[in-house]
Amino acid sequence: MEYRNLGASGLRVPVLSFGAGTFAGSGPLFSAWGSTDAAEARRLVDICLEAGVNLFDTADVYSAGASEEVLGEAIRGRRDAVLISTKTALPMGDGPADWGSSRSRLIKSVDAALRRLGTDYIDLLQLHAFDASTPVEETLSTLDSLVKAGKIRYIGASNFSGWELMKSLAASQKHSYVRHVAHQVYYSLAGRDYEWELMPLASDQNVGALVWSPLAWGRLTGKIRRGQPLPQTSRLHETATFGPPVDDEKLFDIVDVLDEIAGETGKSVPQIAINWLVNRPTVASVIIGARNEEQLRQNLGAVGWVLSKEQIERLDKVSELTAPYPYFPYRRQEGFARLNPPLV
């Protein structure tokens, strides 16, 4: 397994990490993802560690905290062998103090996560969303104090826009607060919006990308194809509206090329889609999920080999979208590109 520094930090993370959203699944979204119990979760953690995957990602909102609890049970007795990433800020209830990233909410949320995880520190705490109602200075000063208290070691963001992340980074620099070293983002062959604003920002500011939903919300599994009905077992029947939008015709074009490359490499469609992501600029780790051992082993097979330059170019071309303003001039006009060439 390859390891990379997470942004501007000394924390080295595997290029593949494991998402625990399938643990103890409940509710309209997470029950469709999976309902792995503690015994099954421990087996999946065993397989991950054998493969060198030691970073496990969860969140307080995943099945109302149950995902954190199951992950905590699965890693019991081997805390030093794993890295725990969790997230907070999204609503955990309907009360005024049940959401956001205010000082009181963050302190309460971190203490609750530590109890559920059965640990005394969190390796990486990420803000699950930007809280526009709380000054970034309040949020960052609180996170800074939690790092100094030893309850968390590194901080990151998730699902921030460019200006939201940059505002936070600037406040950290101005006040000498701990800074975000990671940004957990949606990025896939079927969704490349990350490349317009967030990738250049990550490159400039040295913020590592942790990629969620690398298979485009289950659409790049190889089971969804042009002219065929959605499989009865697909979780998209229940969860499609929760995830990122995807143009069906564009998706089918991408799957066609993935199929071609699968025939050339002997690798599966999802393995190729994940491998393409692992080698994109600023990506530190791609978060893979699995309902069972078979899915996990297949996803682990996405690394340890390389796509050819020509295969990467074919995937780049078929998945390319027209950039919105103000980004398209830098991709269409040489004069603009000379001043600020796109990363990809």
Question: What one-letter code names the amino acid at 7?
Answer: G
Strand partners, 183: 157, 209
Among residues 3, 62, 194, 327, which one is catalytic?
A: 62
Q: Pseudo-torsion of CA 238, 112, 121, 198, nearest 10°? A: 40
Question: What one-letter code names the amino acid at 213?
Answer: S
Active site residue 62: yes
Catalytic positions are 62
